Structures are given as structure tokens and as C-alpha cells.
Amino acid sequence: MTLRWGIVTAGKICHDFVNAFNSYPDKGNQIIFGIAARDKNKAEEFAAIHHIEKVFDSYEDMAKSKDIDVAYIGSLNIYHYDLAKLFLNNGKHVLCEKPLCFNSDEVESLTELARTKNLFLMEGIWSRFSPAYYDLEQIIASGVIGDVRFLEANFGIFTEDKRITTRNYGGSAVLDIGVYVLQLAQFVFKDSPKRVIAVGKRNHDEVDVSETIVLEYDDDRRAVLNTNTQLELVNQAVVYGTKGHITLQPPFHFPNKMILQDGKVKEYTLHTSALPYHYENSAGLVYEAIEVEKCIRQGLTESPRMSHSESRLLALLEDCVRRDLNVSINSKNRHYKKILIL
């Protein structure tokens, strides 16, 4: 039976996801069937570009449709919880862009809802499905670089995008790009830190725009992570062990190259597309769609590689960072009526 996707909103990340999906030659028995957006004209334009069969009148219509099995949610951060809840309550599986929700309370609530509904839910941490990340995991497990003791990762861009810099849009450096450095620490250490320290800067709208995060683990293991939305950094990560180190070259969150412990470079090639992408290496987004399809076929409600417990810990770390910077993590402070879903 074909797995039928519905795309929720017609923004840039949805374009990249659909483009990656449609241009990949071996994604299994799944299709993108429909789209819905707040502005139906945008949805119709999107459907025409990507050859999508059905344009729904509303998110509610899509959620209730018997023609959709799984929803991909690419809305503004502050709407992730409500939209994911809408689709889960209507019997649909969900792949939701990062961050899964605005805070850890919402993540706890949403993962519990998916469990009780016996439906699949995954946060779209596409890094986890990068071929380089699979190789990195095997290298660490092999012991060739010894015991991992230190991680350094940087993610810095210059942006004036209101989606990232404005409080009423759910803006946050740690939620938008910091999620990638935090998830890498989880991926490398396979553990919860015993201490989280963050220093950084808020803008005039009390949104965090940069931070340096230190995660301390047992056995003198440590991660130093930098995020910045006002400065371009060398967006690479280095994993240090007692016998050597591995470098994920830019962009570390979905790298084309990895420098091995012996200095050799391993390269990774992504499939091509006739349409351009908005974000670097977005062709790799298809790998999370393949994971979703595989898990649903197996009757799973979460991915072993990006589990609900991983998302809950990630949300707690994001809360800790924003608390250290005196940034509100309370979703009740948001002004929904002033915002349009993209």
C-alpha cells in the first residue's frame, strides 16, 4: 500500500523537502499527494511547481482526509505543537520540522499523545540520517579514536529573518540552529549532561541571537557548542578521542566530507534535482522521509535513531539554554493572532 504524504504549509523548507523527495529515485512506495497552506493561492502555486495532485482548503480538511497517511509540518516553530496535535488527533502520522515544539512541556505532551494514539511521530533532525553520521557512529563504536572526551561544534549564520529574530514568530538561535549542535552532542556521547552552562546575547525583542553552550558529562567529557545568527562561523564539528579525532566539515549538520583519524577525506554525494534548493544540502531531507516510511511499515511509533526520548532531552537542553539567557520559554506568551502561518 502506498504511503501518502500531506505537506503542511508552502514555505521554503517544505519546498526543499518536496524537491528532495520527488527527485530521489529510490524512496520506496510513498508519494506526496496533497498540500495545505493558510493562503490557498500559495498552496496552488506550490502544487503546480511540484506536481502535487490535491490542494486542500484548510489544515483541518487535510487532517480529516482519508487520502493522507502522514503529514510533514514545516510551519513556524510556534505552530508545531498545535498542528502536530491536529493531525495526530485525526489519525495521521507526523514528521515535524525541528524544533518539535516550543518547549519541553509541549514535547512531553505531544509524544504522549502519539503514544496513546499509536501513531508515528518524529522530530525532523535530518542530520541523524546523513551517511556521514552513520559512518561517524561506527567509527566511534569501533574504538579507533579511543574514548571520546571532547566535542566542539559551531553553527553561525548572518540573518535578519523574522522567523529567527522575532519573539512573536517564535524566533530563537538555539531553536533554529542550536538544535543541530545540541543533537550532535547527544549523538556523540549517548548520554545526558550533568551540567549545562550557557552565555550569550538577546536582541531588542528578547530573543536569543547567539550563545556559547558548555555541556559537562560524567568522566570529564565535555562539549563546547557555539551558535550565532549575527556572525558567520566555520560550521564544522570535531570529535576528539584519546587516540585521534574526526572532523565533520561544513556544513557539519549534513556534511559532504568527513576527515578521518588518519587524515584521509571521505566524501558523500547527494542526488541532483532540476529545481534549486533554499538551504544547503537539502537533498538530504529525503533520508528522513525514507526513515519515516520504514518505521511506519514496521509498525513503529518512533524512530530508534531519533526517538521521543531524544526529542524530550533535546527540548530540555533548549529550555536550559534559554533560561540561562533569561529568555522566556513559556508558549503562553505568544501572540497567535498577529502571525500568519507560512
Whether the CB-CB separation of 173 and 208 falls below 8 Å is answered with: yes
pLDDT on residue 144: 97
Residues 146 and 105 in one domain: no
Q: CA 57, CA 239: separation in Å to the nearest integer?
A: 48
CATH code where residue 12 lies: 3.40.50.720
Q: CA 20, CA 26: separation in Å to the nearest integer?
A: 11
Residues 201 and 314 in one domain: yes
- Residue 136's SS3 state is helix
Which of 127, 157, 184 finishes a domain?
A: 127
Show pLDDT as tens, one digit a residue, over the chain (342 residues). 999 999 999 999 999 999 999 999 999 999 999 999 999 999 999 999 999 999 999 999 999 999 999 999 999 999 999 999 999 999 999 999 999 999 999 999 999 999 999 999 999 999 999 999 999 999 999 999 999 999 999 999 999 999 899 988 889 999 999 999 999 999 999 999 999 999 999 999 999 999 999 999 999 999 999 999 999 999 999 999 999 999 999 999 999 999 999 999 999 999 999 999 999 999 999 999 999 999 999 999 999 999 999 999 999 999 999 999 999 887 654 433 333 333
Q: Is residue 289 part of a domain?
A: no
Q: Is residue 147 part of a domain?
A: yes
| φ, ψ for residue 261, nearest 5 deg | -65, -25
Its pTM surpasses 0.85: yes
* Residues spanned by the domain of 100: 3-127
Which of 69, 101, 127 finishes a domain?
A: 127
Q: What is the DSSP string of 292-335?
A: HHHHHHTT-SS-SSS-HHHHHHHHHHHHHHHHHTT----GGG--
pLDDT on residue 207: 94
Locate cell 526529542: which residue? 311
Residues 98 and 136 in one domain: no
Number of structural domains (the chain) is 2
pLDDT on residue 331: 62
Edge to edge, the sheet with strand 54-55 lists: 54-55, 30-36, 3-8, 70-73, 93-97, 121-124
C-alpha count within 13 angstroms, C-beta hemisphere, residue 54: 19
Residues 106 and 135 in one domain: no
Cell of 289: 522521509
Residues 259 and 312 in one domain: yes
Q: Is residue 297 part of a domain?
A: no
Q: Is residue 298 part of a domain?
A: no
Q: Is residue 250 part of a domain?
A: yes
Residues 203 and 320 in one domain: yes
Residues 123 and 150 in one domain: no
Q: Is residue 270 part of a domain?
A: no
Amino acid at 126: W
Residues 134 and 207 in one domain: yes
Residues 48 and 181 in one domain: no
Residues 170 and 186 in one domain: yes
Residues 251 and 187 in one domain: yes
Q: What is the DSSP string of 160-191?
A: --HHHH-GGGT--HIIIIIHHHHHHHHHHH-S
Residues 121 and 164 in one domain: no
CATH code where residue 224 lies: 3.30.360.10
Q: Is residue 66 part of a domain?
A: yes
Which of 74, 101, 127 finishes a domain?
A: 127
Q: Is residue 284 part of a domain?
A: no
